[in-house]
Amino acid sequence: MLMHKAADRKIRGESFVKEAAQAKLYASEVSREVANEGIQIHGGYGYTKDFPAERFYRDAKLNEIYEGTSEVLRNTIARELLN
């Protein structure tokens, strides 16, 4: 829903910075939490390359860093809320 709201605002020519930052922040953090649960379920095997859980966690963690860290996104959201 956050992504659709950001896309709708972009299509309308409105400012969508806050909505896009919210969508990315939420998606990246939830994906890492879910991947972490997968690692927990697999126990020690979750860290081995024999199971895809290890790769899912690495990819999810990268999403928190790629194109703006979670902290930068939080600052962007706060700045947009104050404007």
- Compute the C-alpha angle 70/71/74, nearest 5°: 85
Asked if 6 and 20 count as a contact pair (C-beta separation under 8 A), the reply is yes
Catalytic residues: 67
Give me 36's structure tokens: 């972490």
Please count the residues of the chain.
Answer: 83
